[in-house]
């Protein structure tokens, strides 16, 4: 029986981050690493099934954002640039020069920040169920106040309604209960800190400057960043392509992983010849 991988941590930018770094047995053939970035209220386990599909041939890095999972949750507010800087510092710590960010929701916005701040290091990107601007000031102020005063529990059911389509709720009650536990165990001030980053971030102008291949993915039934928003983002990015994940919600890597794997694999082959 193979041993479970040890928990690994790195202190970057004054925050202790939980991460996992997997190198392919063949060395990756000089390919860039794939860096998967998770959503608000989740940890890197949401990407496990998809990331595992690429682990034989690519170096795979996953991490819990500051304020999430097993990473430290400093008092906020955080900025999107804080999250971007954490990814870059972790990549430096791991000796990774170039990488493809694959981010969902706020992870997609972090990926946009990476494309803006370190374009020479990013040969391609996948933006999943995200937007150049997400939500309203009122939405985020309400979430911040609730998270700080009452924790995540009062918002949990509404979050899951937006994450997963109704057919997933009906067919997978055990999984739904597990994802609910993950959300509610997110520190309130960590959730609020990243909510502030989402409140303040707007990449509407900067995404027009992206000069590398970008794939935008969006779940058909995503209520948080619906396909219309994803198509709007795609239209802003020169040469970007959009693919809808039929039957999926806001986290298609959970409810339609096979489709996400196929779409990302095809994109990497076209964009990087790998």
Q: How high does pLDDT run on average in the chain?
A: 95
Could you give the percent of the chain with pLDDT greater than 90?
A: 94
Distance CA 256, CA 247 (A): 8
Please give the average per-residue pLDDT across 203-232, as a whole number: 97
The domain defined by 8-272 folds into Rossmann fold (3.40.50)
3 state SS of 84: helix
pLDDT for res 76? 85
pLDDT tier for residue 1 given thresholds of 50, 70 and 90? very low
pLDDT for res 30? 83
pLDDT tier for residue 26 given thresholds of 50, 70 and 90? low
Distance CA 274, CA 269 (A): 5
Name which residue leads in pLDDT, 161 or 30: 161
> Other CB atoms closer than 10 Å to residue 220's CB: what's the count?
15
pTM of the model: 0.96
Residue 261 above 70 pLDDT? yes
């Amino acid at each position: 029986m193979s041993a479970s991988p040890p928990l690994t941590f790195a202190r970057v930018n004054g925050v202790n981050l939980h991460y996992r770094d997997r190198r392919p047995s063949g060395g990756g053939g000089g390919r860039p690493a794939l860096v998967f970035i998770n959503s608000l209220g989740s940890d890197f386990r949401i990407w496990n099934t998809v990331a595992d599909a690429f682990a034989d041939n690519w170096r795979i890095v996953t991490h819990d954002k500051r304020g999430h999972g097993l990473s430290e949750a400093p008092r906020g507010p955080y900025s999107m640039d804080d999250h971007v800087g954490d990814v870059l510092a972790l990549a430096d710590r791991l000796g990774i020069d170039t990488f493809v960010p694959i981010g969902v929701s706020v992870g997609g916005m972090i990926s946009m920040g990476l494309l803006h701040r370190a374009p020479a290091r990013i040969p391609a990107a996948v933006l999943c169920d995200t937007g150049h601007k997400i939500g309203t000031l009122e939405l985020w102020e309400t979430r911040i106040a609730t998270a700080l005063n009452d924790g995540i529990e009062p918002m949990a059911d509404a979050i899951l309604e937006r994450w997963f389509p109704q057919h997933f709720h009906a067919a997978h009650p055990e999984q739904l209960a597990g994802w609910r536990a993950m959300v509610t165990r997110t520190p309130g001030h960590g959730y609020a800190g990243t909510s502030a980053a989402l409140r303040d971030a707007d990449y509407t102008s900067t995404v027009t400057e992206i000069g590398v291949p970008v794939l935008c993915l969006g779940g058909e039934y995503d209520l948080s960043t619906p396909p219309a928003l994803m198509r709007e983002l795609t239209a802003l990015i020169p040469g970007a392509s959009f693919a809808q994940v039929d039957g999926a919600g806001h986290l298609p890597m959970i409810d339609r992983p096979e489709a996400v794997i196929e779409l990302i694999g095809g994109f990497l082959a076209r964009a990087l010849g790998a």
